[in-house]
């Protein structure tokens, strides 16, 4: 019986070591590392929320991200322009799950979900919290 105990212990230890190493090797890079590739293209508003309440005032809003890190939206962002300024244009960059817009009004969008067909972003503009549920055009 004493001869089987070390053998059993070794088999269990080896099994745990293999299980542990297989779990570690399957750890993937954070999902946000794929965002620069997934975000390119036009995204249309499906649903918008202002301060956790659904709003219809942003129906028809779109966000367009180019591969050259150029951003265009018709979201009514207060940038001090006249009524003829119906689009906001900026350069964008990523830091993990955050889209940083540069330009006349720097804005940050937090990407809460992103896949090839849908995206959820949130931001704060004029002390109002917004969440945008978007669909790829």
Asked whether residue 81 carries a pLDDT value surpassing 90, the answer given is no
User: Whole-structure pTM over 0.75, yes or no?
Assistant: no
pLDDT band at 25 (very low <50, low <70, confident <90, very high): very low
- Judged by phi (left if over 0) then psi (alpha if -120 to 50, else beta), residue 86 lies in alpha
Q: Which domains does the chain have, with CATH numbers?
A: 32-136 (2.40.128.280)
| pLDDT at 13 > cutoff 60 | no
pLDDT at 104: 74
Please tell me the least confidently modeled range out of 11-25, 42-56, 73-87.
11-25
Q: With contact defined as beta carbons under 8 Å apart, do 61 and 46 qualify? A: no
Mean pLDDT of the chain: 81
């Amino acid at each position: 019986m004493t001869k089987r105990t070390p053998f059993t212990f070794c088999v269990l230890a080896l099994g745990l070591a293999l299980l542990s190493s297989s779990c570690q090797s399957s750890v993937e890079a954070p999902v946000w590392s794929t965002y620069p590739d997934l975000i390119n293209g036009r995204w249309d508003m499906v649903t918008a929320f202002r301060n956790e309440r659904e709003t219809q005032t942003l129906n028809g809003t779109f966000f367009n991200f180019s591969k050259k890190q150029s951003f265009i939206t018709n979201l009514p962002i207060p940038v001090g322009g006249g009524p003829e300024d119906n689009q906001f244009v900026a350069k964008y960059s990523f830091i993990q799950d955050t889209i940083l817009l540069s330009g006349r009004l720097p804005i940050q969008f937090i990407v809460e979900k992103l896949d090839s067909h849908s995206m959820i972003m949130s931001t704060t503009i004029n002390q109002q919290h917004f969440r945008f549920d978007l669909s790829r055009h």
